[in-house]
Structure formats: C-alpha cells, structure tokens
A and B are shown apart, each in its own frame.
Chain A
Amino acid sequence: MQGAANGVPASGADFMSAYQSNPSMPLFILDGFEVSLQKIYDLDINRIERMTILKDAVATSAYGSRAANGVIVVDTKQPLPGRLTVNYTSNVQITAPDLTSYRLLDAAGKLEVERLSGMYTSTSSFASHQYFWDKLYSKRKADIERGVNTYWLAKPLQTGVGTRQSLYVEGGDQYLRYGVSFAYGNNKGVMIGSGRKNYEGSMMLSYRKNGLLVRNQLTVNSNRADESPYGAFSAYTRLNPYWNPYDAQGKTVKTLDILSTPGNAAQTIVGNPLYDATLGTTNYAKYFGMVNNTMLEWRLRNGFRFTGKLGITSQSDQSDKFLPADHTAFINITDFNSVDYYTRGQYNRNNSSFFALDGSLLLDYSKVIGKGLFYATLGGSLAEQRSQGAGFEVRGFPNSRLDEVFLGNAYLRDSRPTGKNDVTRRVSAFSSLNYTWDRRYMADFSFNMDGSTQFGDDKRFAPFWAFGLGWNLHEEAFMSGLKGTAVDRLKIRAGIGTTGSQQFSPYMATTTYQYTTDREYLGMLGAGLMAYGNPLLAWQQTMKRNIGMDVSLFKERVQFRLDGYIETTNDLLLDVNMPPSSGVATYKENAGKLENRGMEGNLNVFLLRKERQGIYWSVFVNAIHNRNRIKEISNSLKKMNENNDKSDNNLQTRPQLRFVEGESVNAIWAVRSMGIDPGNGKELFLARNGELTYEWSAADKVIVGDALPDVSGNIGSNVSWKGLQLGVYMSYETGGKLYNQTLADRIENANLRYNVDERVLMGRWKKPGDATYFKGLADLEGRQVTELTNATSRFLQRNNFLDFESISLTYNVPDRYSARLRMKNTRISLQANNMFRIATIEVERGLDYPFARNFTININTTF
C-alpha cells in the first residue's frame, strides 16, 4: 500500500511541501544511493515500490552522522519478467497565483496616508521648499482624479501551465531484466516568462543468477530554468499605485518618477519594471548531468551476503544573465559624459561542474541457532565530491541585439573573475549486531565511525554507537488468545545511542590563513589569519534515549506507534567572545548543554474496510510534542543577550534570540505593551518594575511566549470506493506563539516613500480619541513619526493553524474497459496543493515570490 495510508506524504509535491522549508531535512536514499530532495520530487510516483521512514538511533546508525534528522528510504519497482511492458504517464500542472493575502493601498489611499504622515509639510524655513511639496501633491492628486490607480501586483503574473510526459519500457526474463525510460517536462512559473524545461533518459539493467545479482542504472538529464524578464516580484509590491506605467499614447514608459528632497542635490530615479520586460534580456541557468549507480550483491551459501555499490554523478552548469544598456538597473547613471554611461549593460556568465563518487562495501551474515536468529553487518563507505566553477562579468552593451557575452565593450572595471574549487571527502565504517530469540526478544547494537574533510585535524573521526532492546509481546504465550483477533502486534522497544549533529569548519580547530586574492601589495599576495584555531575542539555529541511501542489491533484496523525521547546535547559548540585586542572577536568552545524532551505519536485507523467490495476509509493522525531547556551556557551567550539589547542597526525591530539557563531556546522576549494611547497615538509599555512608560527599553524585556507549539503534526484521510480514491493531507499546529513580523515591518515600520499595507491608513491612529491597534502616523504636532517599533507584546499572537496541504482524487480505470485498447493499470488522478489554510494569524505569504497554488492532472497507463 502506498505511503499515504501511514501518514507519509504520497507524492513528490507532498514531499516538497513537507520538507522543502524544513531546516532539519532528513537524508534521502533511493535504491540504496543518497539523493537530493529534488530527485525524489521529480520521481514518478508510480515507480515507487516502498517508502520507509527511519527515526530511532538504531535504525539510522547505518547512515552515521548524516542521519541526525532521520532517513527516508525509497525503493523503486524492479522490472518484471515476461513480455515487454510499456508504461506511459502524462501530467499537466497548473500553477495559479493567489494575491488575496496582500492588502496594499490604492492610489487615493496612499496619497492620503502620505499627507497624514506629514510628508508634504516642509520642515525647513524656505518658502520654496513648501512650494515644491505643494506642487508635488497637486500633481499626484490630479493624476488620481484622472483615474490612475495601478494594481502593480497583478502585472507580472500569469497562470502557469506545464506538462510532463514520460515513457517507461521494461522487459526481460528470469536472468536478465532491463528497463528504459524517457521523460520530458516543461513547467511554467507564475511570473510571466519564467519556466523550467527538463529532458531525462535512463537505462536499467539487472542480471541475477544463483546467488549473484548485478544491477546498473544510468540516468542522463538536461535542464534549463528561465527567470522572468519582469524582475523580482518584491519590486512590484513597493511601487506606488499613483504611478502610471503607460503614457498618454499607451506606450510603456521607462521612468515612473524622480524622487528628491528640496535643498538636496541627490535624487533617486524610479524605473518601471514593466519597461524591462519589453527589452530583450536573458536570464537562465542550465545543466547537463549524468548519474550511474552500480550494485553487486552476492549471496553465499553459508549465510553470508556481500554487497558492493558504486555511484558516480557528474554535472555541468552554466548560467547567463544579460541586461542591455536601456534596462532600469542602470537608470541612476545620469552623467552622459562619464565612463559609466558608456559601459551600461551587463552580461554575467558562470560555468561550474560537479563530480561525485560514492562507494560502499557491506558484508552481512545471518544464522539461526536453535530459537535464536543472529544477524551481523559490517561495512565501509567512502565518498568524494568535487565542485568547481568560474564566472565573470562584461559591461557595455548598448542595445539588446548584441546579446552575446563576446559583444560587450570591456570587462567590468577593476573586477576579477569569481570562482571556486572545493573538494570534500567522507569515509565511514559501520557495524551492527542483532539477535532475536524466539521471535520475542530482540537486542541490537550498532557502531559507526565517520571521518570527513569538514572536521578538524585532531578530531577527524567521530564514533557513534547505539543500543536497543525490543519485546514482541504479541508472540508471547499469554497473548496467544488475543493474537489473531484483537492484537496483531504489540512491540515495546527502548534504545539509547549517540549521534553527532554538527560539523564545524576546519579553521575553527586549526589556525588557518587565507590568501587575499582581491588586493595585491606591490605585486605580492598576502595571507591573513582567518580565526583562532582551538585545537581542543571536540565533536558535539547528542545522546538520545527513547522508549516506544508499536501496536496493531483488530486485524490491522488500528495501527499506532508511540515514542518518548530525551535528547541531551553536551559540549554544545558555542562562540566565546573576546575583546578585540586579542585579535579576534570570537572563537569556538565546547561550552553548553541543551536538553530536548518530547513525545511523538502516530495513529492510523481504518473506519471502513470491505475488501470484497473494494471500499476502504482510513484516517491518520500524527502528533509531536517537544520541549527544550538550556542546561548551561557559556559567557558568550550571556554577551549575545546584551548585544541583542542594543539598538544598533535597527536590531530591536525583531525580537532577538536570548538564551537563559533554565529556559527554552524558542522563548520570545519582548516588552509588555498596554496598547496605543488614544490621546496621542503612542504605545504605552509596562516596565519590569510595573510602571507605565512611553519609553521602550531593552531592559524591560520579559518572556511573553514560546514559539514552540504544544502539539504539531499531520492529519489526513483516505477513502477508496471501488476504483476511486480520495486522499487529504493536512498539517497543523496549536499552542505556539508567533511574533507577527508582517505587522511590524509592513504597517508600523514601513517606508512611506513606497507602497504600504492598507492598514497603515485604516488601522493607524490619526487624531486624539481614536482607539486603534496601531500607533500614530504623525504625532500631536503633525510631524511624521519615524521612530521604529521595537519588540513588543502587542504583536505576539497565537499561532494555531490547519493547513490543507494536498487533496488528491484518483480513478483506477477497471482493466476490462482499458483492455480494449490493450492497456491495463490505467489511472487518472487530480491533485491540488495549498488549497486553503485556517489560521489565527494572517501572515503575508511571501514577497520575493508570489504565493501560488498547484493543480496537477495525471494519467498513467501500462501497455
């Protein structure tokens, strides 16, 4: 049965949404080899045979230090013997942008906000300055009255439609099997002109005779991704709605406005990003890659099995970006006589290549001795990755016809090529022992040594071990009455183990010099100190203790799994602050202890199960509860607390991290707020000593909430009725708090020169007597309020949400219909992602790229 029934995401898109933004991404293994998340995403869902999630210390110990966040093992279907079978999949994907979460002002509203904030009131004594502002105001008002009200957000967007076609041919006999596949994909993004094209071909060959199995898979793919000529979406969110991108004749203008302050020669020219889209620009990245995985497995007669694997990956990338002279990127170069004017226009070219090699040898042994089963594994692996690249920039492209890198005028003045040349290597050895007695009692032990170029000289190799015990109660004699009827499976397990959860750069353990390549001294290049290398630096070790149980009841109608864990990290790697006279600002020490406790549960219930009619209904829930506590910190963290109280660089507009012994790392610190004073529009704060004050002070910060939710997880359901299947997958969180940064950045700290959220006009205080949630635009004297809003409890909100991540509907065409066309296993499915979200906080969904929903229609059949 597919993963969906067990609460595991059922498709590549689900994986992306579940893991893409996960900072603790697990390790993905596909057919025995490590792959990236992108590979799993691109995998045809119909090719997946089995997907297993490994979390506890013993299960992940085979993968060593890479498995700190769990391992997801995916196995694809192997070709079947018999005649040639052809499998065809066709897929249409629609990406639709959704702008409903953005609430920006319209033209009249923006002008009004500017006026109320005092922008058109001159602060100087010169009459000519006030005249300047009056003239500007009248001009803008006249434009608005003529009907100018541009909704910029929608201008660069489209509904992207894409497709993916793939063909898979397989065949073979008892000994030799083969499979060949081709795929073509063409996806369009929500920004006009953006998209992704992908071609892929692969060949799989396997030979099996007696105890020997040899398998080889070769994949070749080519990919090109284009960026939109309309530029970044974030630029459109800032543009003022009283600016018109077209002139009276309907032509696209280049300059929207020239911003200046009277009395100051400096000016900023605002360019029209829509104008850029009318020019010929180039912005793409492409790559060509090849992956070859070979596996050899040899089963010897006496219980030994030997496995060898070798994987080779090679990829070469190129990226090009071309902007002609007329592009708004150069709009602020106004001196027609300067050299800069003649060298407008740029072309950036970057080439890089990547090569990786991954090999492993494994030996297992299994033996039955009486009632006991003994299983041992011993193995080693090594891997190397090489990454090289170089890039350069050329300037001077007067028009968009000359869009080749060699047609430019000259290299960017005083520039040098950029590039890299990195090699990392990894070696690890692994062994494990497993003993099961009478199918009832189990003991596991595993040991693993990892070495990597990323670790310091003295501590190159790090050992990790794990030990576990298990008890299959359902095999016990006293359970035999229940077994087969009520209880199918009841296993209790406990484990303890260590994992390493952080790698540190080699220059933290050895004093290292770095050559300054961007400056010469009389023709010589110097090498400067990078940092103080602490030779005593050791691995950060996490000790995991867990206890859990797996239960399956009522003929697998109810399955559930419960785990409790305590993780203690000792020797936490932290920065210790030094006075600058020591030559460095910080250096790394093992100086901290962190403890994580939690519980995790997983429940899958079949509410309906009628096998004969083909009717099933299952519901799954999983939940995690986690709490952490700092046991000990070094003086550097105490210093960081103080630094975060200073007001440099507008640090205080976001609640800063603050570590205190005994508290959680996710605690949110802010000053308690009593709201906005209706008399003057200022915020009233509660100081630590209980007094009310208008002054914000870092010393008054207290813990106002915790970002960690009480419970978080996923919920979903699957319904099958004859050939139809409906699946819903949601994620939820409850009990956590979030500092609503959107409100602070977009409403109170917004730059009024550009467009802002509509609540700046509606929700902010304007005159005495207004009882509002947001503070005033101008103070009682009419002067614009420029003080920033610092961390306040006013913006702390409960963050409970239920996110409908994906819904899918599948129809399996019964074979008797499709047999007429000689097809079988035909399946049509529809899927939608990010349908909607029920939440207590409305957060703006992304400024750099617009929020969009994905709909996919998929047809799959076999000949």
Chain B
Amino acid sequence: MSIRKTLRCVLLVLILGGSAGCSKWLDVKPKTQVGEDDLLTDEQGFKDALIGVYTGISGEALYGREFTMAMMDVLAANYDVALTSHSYNQAGQYNYTNATAKSALFGFWSTAYKNVAGINNLLSKIDDRKETFAPMMFELVKGEALGLRAMLHFDMLRAFGPLPGKGLDQTAIPYVTRFDMKVQPRLTVQEVISRCMEDLTAARALLKVRLDVTYNHADLWLAHTRNHFNYWAATGLMARISLWAGDKENAYKYAKEVIDSKKWNLIAATAVNTLFPDRTFTAEHLFAVYLANMQTLNAKHFNAQAPSTAVLTNRTAFINTRFEVNSGGSTDYRYLYLWKTSGSSTTKYPAKYWIDDILDNGSWLMRRLPLIRYSEMYYIAAEATANKEEGIGLLNEVRSHRGLQLLSTSLTEDQLKLEIAKEYRKEFYQEGQLFFFYKRTNAAVLEGTARPGSEAMYVPPMPDDEIEFNQN
C-alpha cells in the first residue's frame, strides 16, 4: 500500500512540482550569450554593453574603414581609382547604384542604427540601476552613450541628408531614441540637429565630472580618455554641428571653449621626426576609435602588398599639388612624414596608419583612428569668427605646428577661406571628413578630379530597405 502511495507521490511531484523547479533547470544560456535582464543589472554589464557599441562602430563597415579611410575618401576624390578593375572605380564616379557603392552605403546606415539601438536599450535601463555604479561611473557611461547617439545620427545626416546650403527644413533622417519595433518618421534637418544638440547638452552635463585627459590609469575605463566620448569630444562635436547648421556664433563659442581649456596641445616637430613617429598626431585626438586590426587594413589598402584592385593612394603629381610642394609646402609634416614608399616600388603610399615600424614602442601611439581632431577646432573657429585677423592667427597657430610658414595678416576673406579649404584637404586625408567639407560648402569643383560638384553627387540615396519599409 505504502509503496503505491509513494509512487503516486513521486509521480505527482514530478509532473506538477516539476514546472517550478524545472524552469530554473531549463534556464541554460550559452556562455557567450546573456539576456538583457542579466546583463544590464550592474555597472560592469552596462560597461560591457557600451564597449559593445564602441566595438560595433569601429567595425570595418563604419568608422573602422569604409566611413573614414575607404569609401568616404573615395567620394572626396582623394584617391586614384581610375583603374577599371578597381573595386571603388564605380563609386569614384559617383555611380551610387553600383553594387560595391550600394553595399558600402547600406553598411553605414545599418551599422550606425544598429548601434543606436544598442545605446537606446542601454539608456532605457540605466537610470534604474544608478545605485550599482561607483562614483563618477554612472555619469561617464550615460554621458558617453548620449554623446555617441548624437554623433552617429549626425554622421548619418551628413552623409545622407540634403545639402545644408539649401535650407534646413528639408526632410532628412529618422532620429531614434527607443528600441522598439515602431517605425520612426524622417525628421527635417533642423529637427535632427536640435535633437543632436539636446543629447550633447545632456551628455556634457554628465561628462563634466571628468575634464582631465589621460592615457595612463589603473582603471581601464578611465585610461585613454581620447578613445571614449569625453566632454571635449562633445564640445567639439557641437562646434561641428553648429557650423553645419550655419550657426557661426555657437560654432565659434564651442570651438573656442576647447582651445582655451589648456587641456589640449598641437603637436611639436619631435612627435614626427623621431625613430617612432606619431603619424596620426595622437595627442590631438578629441575622440578616436581603437582599431585592433590596423595592420591588416594597411596591407589591404596602403602599402605595396595591396592588390591593384584595392590599393588607395594617388599619383605624385596629385600629392605635389595637394601639398603645394613647389610653393612652400615641402616642409609640411604631413607631406614629409605621412607619405612613404613601400618595398622596392617608387609609388608613394599614404602612411598615416602605418604601424609596422613603430610596433616596438608604446602601444598608445598606434591603432587609433581620429574622428574629431583638435586642429579642426582651430579651423572651425577661423571660419566662424567675425574677426578676420583672429581667423588668420588661429590658422597660423596650426600651420606653425605643421612645419609651414605663417600666413600674412593681410589676406582677404576669400583668401582665408581658400587657405582653410587647403588645410582641410591636407589635414584630413584618409579620415573621411573632406567629403563633408565639400558638401557643407557645396564646393563647385573637387580638387584633383576637375569634377564639378552637384547635388546628385553630394546626396547619396538612402538604402532601399529604409525607403521601402519606412513610408513615413
């Protein structure tokens, strides 16, 4: 009798009681996957998620290659891609329906918004867990997230949005602040800009807790300030956005704030004319991403190992014109140290990202790709200032740190504008910013190609999937 009873009990427990205990036993997740309820619960989890965003945006589809040194600079006519078999040949002719160009454009859009989704999910949960953070960490993590969101949206606006010169009320891109499956409408340029500024203002208020710029710190999160979206990066970005919107007053204000902070310096000659040159001018990075695979990128594009279908460089005639070698530019550090021959060939390659020869020396000089530079603050201030002399002075400040002669103070407004344009061309080679300069100023001709600028050229189409599924 009792055996029967026991058996019955055992089975009943098995069937009914099973569901509660069993659910826990069944809750097995693979080692590398974590549900959001388990990850976004403490400081380390939020940090891991934010690092996930940094890793995502520094991938090759966005800042890690295409948006900076490859596609975007091809569109700025910085490279010679005339060879018909070259993979960027069609993109170089602004044929945006070509498969390579299309896939690069889709890569920008999808990578940027995918990481915006990651940021949004993080922000939706961080406020509730504030108490799990160490002092200062909450502000840094949340501030960086907000700043990155603004930056990603602004870069999509710069790339796919309409010409700013045509007015700010045209439809542009969606500004996404929540991770839910509700399709966001496309906003006007002005609306996108004001949302960016909102996010950046909130970011600055939080990031203000740490104004120091360090690269050496026991805490991995606080080391390498330049590779996190810091207070100064936020300020610099606000300057850049203001200039894009044509708001010269604010552009000048923010740019000057960075310049006057005394936290930043332009490089000296000793940074580049040594055995281990700092070719990207690391000290000047307001915000740079870290690229672990820098060496393979060089082998792909920038040295003699690069196949003819992918090599990105230009002819000597172009280099000479760009750097005005025959009229005083031959001492320019960017000409002297950033263009090198490779192997036995006589072709010159852009050596900004080369690291094979400096591997032995400190790691902080390598593997960084600048997105916001200190020198750009000078350029913005010079362009935005009402005072022409001040503008010339600011430009000279940069020139003196680049091995160039100072400009005369008697330059006209137009000549100043021209000099600023020349600086953009020299400074931002391989960084993808030049195209946006041309777009912002609606440049009539792209130097090096004699190609006339046009709206069709400056405004690439949005990916098909976005147009199809976002009918708003």
Residues of A participating in the B interface, judged by any CB pair closer than 8 Å: 264-266, 300, 302, 304, 306, 361, 363, 378-380, 382, 414, 421-427, 429, 431, 449, 451-453, 457, 460-461, 506-507, 510-517, 519-530, 532-534, 576-585, 587, 639, 642, 648
B1-59 residues with Cβ-Cβ distance < 8 A to A are 3-4, 7-8, 10-11, 14-15, 18-19, 22-23, 25-37, 39, 45, 47-56, 58-59
Instruction: Say how far B15's CB is from chain A's closest CB, in angstroms.
Output: 4
Contact of B470 among A363, A378, A579 (CB under 8 A): A579
Q: Size of chain B's interface in residues, with CB distance under 8 A?
A: 77
Report Cα–Cα, A618/B203, bound state, in Å.
Answer: 84
State the Cβ distance, A274 to closest chain B Cβ, in Å: 30
B358 within 8 A of A: no
Q: How far is the CA of A684 from the CA of B30 in the complex (A)?
A: 54
Given contacts A522-B224, A579-B183, contact A527 B26 (CB under 8 A): no
CB distance from B249 to the nearest CB of A (A): 32
Taking a contact as CB atoms under 8 Å apart, the answer to whether B4 and A530 are in contact is no
A sample of 9 inter-chain contacts (CB < 8 A) reads A427-B22, A511-B121, A519-B292, A521-B51, A521-B292, A522-B227, A526-B48, A581-B113, A583-B114
Cα–Cα distance between A136 and B14 once the two chains are bound (Å): 78
List, in ascending order, chain A residues with CB within 8 A of B28's CB. 423-425, 453
Closest residue of chain B to A649 (Cβ to Cβ) is: B99
Q: CA–CA, A584 to B111, complex, Å?
A: 10
Most buried by A among B35, B120, B179, B183: B35
Instruction: Check if B357 is an interface residue, CB within 8 A of chain A.
Output: no
B176 touches A581 (CB 8 A): yes
**Residues in A neighbouring B88, C-beta threshold 8 A:** none
Collect the chain B residues with CB atoms within 8 Å of residue A304's CB.
4, 7
CA of A414 to CA of B220 in the docked complex: distance in angstroms? 23
- Number of A-B residue pairs having CB atoms within 8 Å of each other in the complex: 204
CA A331 – CA B132 in complex, angstroms?
57
B361 at interface by CB-CB < 8 Å: no
B321 in contact (CB, < 8 A): no
Q: Given A453-B27, A639-B468, do A513 and B11 touch, yes or no (CB 8 Å)?
A: no
Question: In the complex, are the beta carbons of B33 and A514 less than 8 A apart?
Answer: yes
B22:A529 contact, CB within 8 angstroms: no
Contact of B181 among A380, A522, A582 (CB under 8 A): A582
Cβ–Cβ contact A527 & B227, under 8 A: no
* Contact digits for B227-238, partner A, Cβ 8 Å, 1 yes 0 no: 100000000000
User: Which residues of chain A come closer than 8 Å to B27, judged between CB atoms?
Assistant: 453, 457
Known contacts A453-B26, A528-B52, A529-B118; A429 and B18 CB within 8 A of each other: yes
Chain A residue numbers with a CB within 8 Å of B309 are: 266
Inside 8 A of A523's CB, which chain B residues have their CB? 220
A513 touches B23 (CB 8 A): no
Contact between B117 and A515, CB atoms less than 8 A apart: no
Tell me which residues across on chain A come within 8 A of B23, comparing CB atoms: 451, 460-461
Report yes or no: B15 in contact with A378, Cβ–Cβ below 8 A: yes
Complex contact A532–B48 (CB within 8 A): no
A528-B118, A581-B466, A648-B99 known; A522-B14 Cβ under 8 A: no
CB-based contact B181/A532 at 8 Å: yes
A576 CA to B181 CA, complexed, in Å: 10
One of B55, B85, B184, B308 near A526 (C-beta < 8 A): B55
* Residue numbers in A under 8 Å from B3 (CB-CB): 300
What's the Cα separation between A460 and B110 when bound, in Å? 32
A33 to B286, CA, bound (A): 65
Distance in Å: Cβ of B98 to nearest Cβ of chain A = 12
Report which of A363, A528, A582 forms a contact with B7, defined as CB distance below 8 A: A363
B7–A516 touching, CB < 8 Å: no
Contact A580–B220 (Cβ < 8 Å): no
Q: In the docked arrangement, what's the CA distance between A281 and B106, Å? A: 44
If over half of B's interface residues share one DSSP class (helix, strand or loop), that class is named, otherwise mixed; here it is helix
User: A353 to B135, alpha carbons, bound, how many Å?
Assistant: 45
Which B234-293 residues have C-beta < 8 A from chain A? 290, 292-293
**Given A527-B49, A581-B113, is A522 in contact with B470 using a C-beta cutoff of 8 Å?**
no
Task: List the 3 closest A-B pairs by CB distance, nearest first.
Answer: A583-B117, A526-B51, A526-B52
Asked if B465 and A361 make an inter-chain contact with CB atoms under 8 angstroms apart, the answer reads no
Q: Are B116 and A583 in contact (CB under 8 A)?
A: yes
Instruction: Tell whether B109 is near chain A: CB-to-CB under 8 Å.
Output: yes
Residues A522 and B290 in contact, CB atoms below 8 Å apart: yes
Find out whether the CB atom of A519 lies under 8 angstroms from the CB atom of B113.
no
Task: Report B-chain residues with C-beta under 8 Å of the C-beta of A414.
Answer: 293, 296
Question: How many angstroms from the CA of A283 to the CA of B35 in the assembled complex?
Answer: 39
CA A525 – CA B32 in complex, angstroms?
11
Inter-subunit contact B51/A513 (CB<8 Å) = no
Interface string of B112-147 (1 = CB under 8 A from A): 011011101100000000000000000000000000
A451-B19, A510-B36 are contacts. A583–B179 as well, Cβ < 8 Å?
Answer: yes
In the complex, whether B307 has a CB less than 8 A from a CB of chain A is: yes
Nearest chain A residue, comparing its CB with the CB of B10:
A361
Assembled-state Cα–Cα distance A426/B292 (Å): 41
Residues on the B chain within 8 Å of A510, using CB: 35-37
State A252–B422 Cα separation when bound (angstroms): 62
Given contacts A512-B35, A579-B465, contact A506 B29 (CB under 8 A): yes
Distance from A74 Cβ to chain B, minimum over Cβ atoms (Å): 27
Q: How far is the CB of A799 from chain B (nearest CB, A)?
A: 35
Q: Which residues of A have CB within 8 Å of B296?
A: 414
Q: Which residues of B contact A579 (CB under 8 A)?
A: 183, 465-466, 468-470
- Are A527 and B48 interface neighbours, CB within 8 A? yes
Please tell me which one of the listed residues B30, B58, B59, B117 contacts residue A582 in the complex, with CB atoms under 8 A apart: B117
Shortest Cβ distance from residue A343 to the other chain B in the assembled complex, whole angstroms: 15
In the complex the two chains form, is A582's CB within 8 Å of B176's CB?
yes
B456 in the interface (beta carbon within 8 A) = no
On chain B, the residues within 8 Å of A449 by CB distance are 15, 19
- Given the interface pairs A451-B22, A529-B121, A580-B109, the reply to whether A521 lies near B48 with Cβ below 8 Å is no
Question: Does B463 lie at the interface of the complex (its beta carbon under 8 Å from any beta carbon of A)?
Answer: yes
**CA A300 – CA B7 in complex, angstroms?**
12
User: In the assembled complex, which residues on chain A have CB atoms less than 8 Å from the CB atom of B469?
Assistant: 577-579, 639
**Chain B residues, CB < 8 A from A266:** 307-309
Q: Cα distance A529–B115 when bound, in Å? A: 8
Q: How far is the CA of A363 from the CA of B25 in the complex (A)?
A: 24
Contacts of B463 in A (CB 8 A): 580
- The chain A residue with its CB closest to the CB of B295 is A414
B76 at the interface (CB under 8 A from A): no
Distance between Cα atoms of A577 and B53 in the complex (Å): 23
Q: A306-B7, A421-B31, A580-B113 are contacts. A528–B184 as well, Cβ < 8 Å?
A: no
